Amino acid sequence: MATQQSPATSTPGDSRAGATDRWSLVFAAGLISFVAMLDMNVVNLALTDIANAFDVSPTTAQWAVLGYQLPLVALLLPAGRWLDQVGLRAALLLSVACFALCSALAAAAPWASWLIAARLAQGAFGAVLFVLMPVLAATAVRPELRGRAMSVPATLGPLGAVLGPVIGGLLLDHVGWRAIFLVKLPICLAAWLIARRDAPRGGGRLRLPDRGSLGDAALIGSAIAAVLLGLTLAPDAPLWLLLALPSVPLVLFWLRRPGGRPVATVLRASGTAAVNGSVLALAAGFAANHFLLAQYLRREDGESATATALTMLAFPLGMVVAGRFGGRLADRWGARPTAITGAAVTALGMLLLIPVDTDWSSPDIAWRLAVAGVGMGLNGGPVQALVMTSAPPDQLATAGSAVQLSRSLGFALGPALGTAATLYGTTEIAGVRAGLTLATTAAALAVALLTLHHRTTKGRKPTDRTESTTSTDSTDSTTETDRTIGSPA
């Protein structure tokens, strides 16, 4: 596959020395990131309404969420492999359009099976969008501006995840459950129009994924489903954790297949295995922290839904503010030290939340959440820039799919891990503290893994491209791939 043309690449004749940065495409990547992550959480609050509307059990209604999440996570790596073989523009336009169409079909669903089928299809196209985000942002600007560019989708994505329950609650109270699917359509339309106008023409044509990719998806999906099912059922009986054991041989078997070998090759060539591990750890810690605090605030004698939402908004506000500076710091100071600083600040904010008690007011929790949010804002863009800059030029989509899988898997595992940790508390508040301690430990692990990446790449040659984007100041070090989307169409 190394000889195939990446969607982010073009022929040398397409690049021009006077290349301009296409920030509109960076903004489109941010919109896609926001709407894709929004869709992971916005439906959660509507499950009771969906069950009542279709007269189905809560378990069946739960597939309105699982139907999106499972194919999204399972198809991320196969989608990266497919995108390394087709044209970026065509794949982008098709995926955004079909993602929006599936939202409309879900909103119009006359029965539950229709809704679940629409969500399954939407999850598949969502996987393609998740992989396209970092590729689009990384190749839309010059290499020395990648930290800034990558901060846009890296900030707007988690923002969509955090705002999902807030937006969902407002729509459910004032419009109805079908509106939670329709609210994404204007965002999709804006992203599609920007891509149609500014994405460069050319590149490979679209083609159907090969059978090997479908086999890869089945293996990855089965492994992830086993882990999630084991963690979900573990609070009732810890023996359910044994369900996660089959995931290990499934992943090992996949790594020996043609679809898994390119991913392993990219991780070895770029030296970013530790970076992807840090992304997973930080996302899991963030998701566990957010889930446990929201549940704690909404306890029987706790805050109202509105007060809880306002308190939890401190996190995304801190993240958005810091995200604007994270990319600039990465471009000037270096992606790795900025990412480490962000992860450390996130861990600090989570550490300050561990002593949570019933006498804490909403502001007491909010300012600590804001500290953690600042750290996430500083970390998101630089860590993605570090991965995309280190990846081989012809395998950017594969590298992007790996980091997106790490982040998505962390978001999926976090709440389940946090819930399992609460079992070690003798009281409700002690259980919450145990879960928050686990979340903080995961954030601290992210710091350690980023430091490990630095140590494992210190002896690598400069051509390995593992250092920060600040090392590419001269035009001679800029590859044709780096300038593809930045050049005029």
Instruction: Provide the pLDDT confidence category of residue 348 given band limits of 50, 70 and 90.
Output: very high
DSSP letter, residue 428:
H
> HSE-up of 121 (CA within 13 Å, CB side)?
17
Quickly count: other Cβ atoms within 10 Å of residue 268's Cβ: 10
Quote the pLDDT of residue 98. Answer: 92
pLDDT one-digit tens code per residue, 389-411: 777 776 666 777 777 778 877 87
- CA 13: distance to chain centroid? 34
Q: What pLDDT score does 369 carry?
A: 92
What is the amino acid identity at position 405? L
pLDDT in tens, 332-344: 888 888 989 999 9
Please report the pLDDT score of residue 487 as a whole number: 36
Return the closest-CA partner of residue 29 out of 167, 164, 138, 184.
138
**341 vs 243 pLDDT, higher one:** 341
Residue 303 has pLDDT above 80, yes or no: no
Best-predicted range by mean pLDDT among 6-20, 212-226, 417-431? 417-431
Plot region of 55 (φ>0 → left; ψ -120 to 50 → alpha; else → beta):
left
Which residue is associated with the tokens 């990465």? 330
Please check the confidence at residue 428 and state whether its pLDDT lies above 50: yes
Kindly state the average pLDDT of the residues 55-69.
Answer: 77
CA 303, distance to chain mean position in Å, is 29
Domain definitions of the chain by residue range: 21-206, 210-258, 270-471
What is the DSSP code (8-state) at residue 6? P
Q: Give me the mean pLDDT over the 90-115 stretch.
A: 90
pLDDT: is 371 or 311 the higher one?
Answer: 371
CATH code for residues 270-471: 1.20.1250.20
Specify whether the CB–CB gap between 62 and 215 falls below 8 A.
no
- In sequence order, the 6+-apart residues with CB closer than 8 A to the CB of 188 are 35, 96, 97, 99, 100, 103
Q: Do domains 21-206 and 270-471 have the same CATH topology?
A: yes
Measured distance CA(393)–CA(80) in Å, rounded:
14
| Percent of the chain's residues with pLDDT above 70 | 78
Exposed, middle or buried by CB within 10 Å (0-12, 13-18, 19+), for 237?
exposed
Per cent of the chain over pLDDT 90 is 14
Please list the alpha-helical segments (H only) found in 175-259.
179-182, 185-198, 211-233, 247-255
- Among 97-106, 376-385, 426-435, 474-483, the range of highest mean pLDDT: 97-106
Residue of 135, 180, 105, 104 whose CA lies nearest to 33: 135
pLDDT at 18: 38
Amino acid identity of residue 167, one-letter, is I
310-338: average pLDDT: 81
The residue among 445, 426, 425 whose CA lies nearest residue 434 is: 425
Q: Does the pLDDT value for residue 305 go beyond 80?
A: no
Residue 280 identity (one-letter amino acid): L
pLDDT at 156: 78
Decide if domain 21-206 falls under CATH 3.40.920.10.
Answer: no
- Position 266 scores a pLDDT of 72
